[in-house]
Structure 1
Amino acid sequence: MFSVELLILGEGWTSKFLIPQLKENQISYASTSRSGHNDTLKFEFNPDSHDPTPFQILPTASTILITFPIKNLGGSKLLVDLYLKTHPKAINKMNLAVNFVQLGSSGIFTEPGWSDRHSVYNKADSRAIAEDELLSLSQDSIRTTVLNLSGLWGGERNPRNWITRVASTKELLISKTSLHLIHGVDVARSIIAVHRQFDKAAGSRWILTDRRVIYKRLGVHGVFPRYDWWDLANAWGDGGADSEEVKGPQPQWVGELMNQNGLRALPRSPDILGKSLDSREFWFTFGLEPVKGRVN
């Protein structure tokens, strides 16, 4: 059995940004996939199985990153238990801790107005239940944390391509309010920062957004930490990332909706757009600034 600093359970979209930065920072790693393709370890977690066999091929690691969602009660504890059962030397003689990071969704924060990592969230959400269970396991020798990510973009995930899906009709556009985003590069940087400073992360839930944009309308200035779907639909249309022109009916629909609602300019005000996610504490705590602070 070999050892690495960071083990990625579930190589996927995030790994496209994370692995290059791990190499750049000379952090040893291993990653898994269901198929075992591209030199990944073949591994699949079954929350209904107590068979430790799938875990036996995994390396010993100081930080285990869980990229796939675990839902409901029991799964998070089972994963931690099976890993430690098959890797008894993971907690060494110096009593160093094994760290577990769960990537989650900021969608569990549903209240209107401002929400930070300490705010009320939907505890009945199946992913939140599993995340809470993981956080409850945090102690001296097992440290856990959850990163609740906002909308992921970068690479093939281009928000300009989303308009045709989320606003294909005027009726769909009417219901669209705010959008929070974070780029894959900043997700990767955040994971590495947590890995290196886990004592600051242990036992806590964090919100990750790009901390953008600046709200400016009718002479009013202030922090506006999300995007307005109407503003994006108006600017982009449905031409997608490959189009340099604004195409489609969306700009016309936006104009009609602005007239119907008495809106003089975009983006719409915070009281209309609903929830706002405050991720400042993460960036301050770990000494980082987003390098992808706005979507183009």
Structure 2
Amino acid sequence: MSVVVPVDILILGAGWTSKFLIPLCESRGLSFAATSRAGGNGTIKFEFGDDGDDEEQYNALPNAQTVLITFPITGNGASTRLVQSYAHTHGQLSETHFIQLGTTSIWDMSAMKDTTSAWFDRQSPVNDHPRARAEAEFLALSSGSVSTTVLNLSGLWGGERSVKNWIGRVLNSKESLRNRGSLHMVHGIDVARAILAVHVQFGLAKGQRWIINDMRVHDLWELAAAWGDPNISGQVDGDASTKQGSVPLDDSDPPGPQPRWVMELMMEEGVRGLPRELNRMGRLLDSREFWTTFGLLPSNARLQ
């Protein structure tokens, strides 16, 4: 049995999320503990493996009202093993809740026929990705004394994660931009707020999965047009932007080639203005049910 001082929140994996969650816990007077693979810097050494781990290390973890799992789980049986290992070393779990941070990539357009866009909410069917299977297994544990929920997060930003920098790095050619549609994001502060809202009202979340984003559908063309990257020349062999008829450059234009690529694509695709209509945007994620259920609104809906 664990003799470590109990806490309100146990964060398994003190990564990017903890940079927002720990200050919020402190401001709200909630006790917490966090783990890392190496330990140190105030964290407990803990390393989970999909294929197996040492149950002895669970003895170092405190009893917690809510256990937050920030790392992805993909192996069959791994979610069950984590919860059971914690139970074996911490006794009765009637007052312990488990949150898994998941991904919204488990909803995709692969099953959609003859459509260029579609709305998905938390009840929509998911794909057969290993993470989707592991999340389903995790949710199935929510019965009796064990309570589980999954928060499926959209693109994460905040702190060192800049959407503007990502745009320049990923959309580095006209063709990489051509078939891009929607972008769904959520700020780290709102992830932390969502976690603590579930912690306080876990009865509303038990056995459920939720989509977490800022309730916006961001248009990647619009962002690329505003945030060109001056470090990309655009003069790539075979790039349509270098051919006759491309949009000319002016010294006062936005930096980088992305705005010019967007203009050319708008002409080619018959897009009259940005942002594009939703029926051109591909996957559309509806997160309203989370925010209305827990009585919150996203606090960071602008990406800069």
Same fold, TM exceeding 0.5?
Answer: yes
| 1:251-292 deviation line (CA, Å, top 9, x unaligned) | 111111111111110111111111111110000100111111
d(CA) in 2 for partners of 1:181, 1:127: 19
Structure 2: segments with no counterpart, 5+ residues: 110-116, 232-252
- 8 Å contact 1:73–1:130 — kept in the other structure? yes
Which residue type is aligned with residue 84 of structure 1? A
Aligned residue runs from structure 1 range 1-296, under 5 A: 1=3, 2-49=5-52, 51-88=54-91, 90-91=92-93, 96-111=94-109, 112-122=117-127, 124-212=128-216, 226-239=217-230, 246-296=254-304
Stretches of structure 1 that go unaligned for 5 or more consecutive residues are: 213-225
Give the partner amino acid of 1:287.
Answer: G
Deviations 1:127-157 (A, max 9, x none): 0111000100001310000000000000110
* 3-state SS in 2 of match to 1:283: helix
Alpha-carbon separation, structure 1, partners of 2:151 and 2:20: 16
Q: SS of 1:13's equivalent?
A: coil
C-alpha distance in structure 2 between counterparts of 1:49 and 1:110, whole Å: 30
Q: Give the aligned residue type for 2:15.
A: G
Q: Is the 8 A contact 1:237 1:246 kept in 2?
A: yes
Task: Mark the structure with the bigger radius of gyration.
Answer: 2
8 Å Cα contact 2:10-2:34 kept in structure 1: yes
SS for the counterpart of 1:81 is: helix
**Secondary structure of the equivalent of 2:101?**
strand
Q: Is the 8 A contact 1:153 1:182 kept in 2?
A: yes
Q: 1:230 to 1:50 in 2, by over 3 A?
A: closer
Cα shift readout 1:66-100 (whole Å, capped 9, x = no counterpart): 00000032000000010000111x53xxxx33111
Query: SS of the residue aligned with 2:11?
Result: strand
Contact persistence 1:161–1:239 (CA under 8 A): no
For residue 294 of structure 1, report the CA deviation from its aligned partner. 2.2
For 1:169 and 1:81, locate their aligned partners in 2 and report how far apart those are by CA, in whole Å.
Answer: 48
Instruction: Return the offset for 1:48.
Output: 2.0
Instruction: Confirm or deny: 8 A CA contact 2:12 2:70 kept in the other structure.
Output: yes
Cα shift at 1:50: 5.4
Q: 2: distance between equivalents of 1:46 and 1:107?
A: 22
What is residue 222 of structure 1 aligned with on the other side?
none
Contact kept? 1:178, 1:274, Cα under 8 Å: yes
User: How far 1:164 sits from its partner (Å)?
Assistant: 2.2
Report how many aligned residue pairs link the two structures. 273
TM-score by length of 2: 0.87
Instruction: Work out whether residues 97 and 140 of structure 1, in 8 Å CA contact, stay in contact via their aligned partners in 2.
Output: no
Query: Offset of 1:239 from its aligned partner?
Result: 4.7
Is the contact between residue 186 and residue 212 of structure 2 (CA under 8 Å) also seen in structure 1? Answer: yes
Aligned-pair Cα RMSD in Å: 1.3
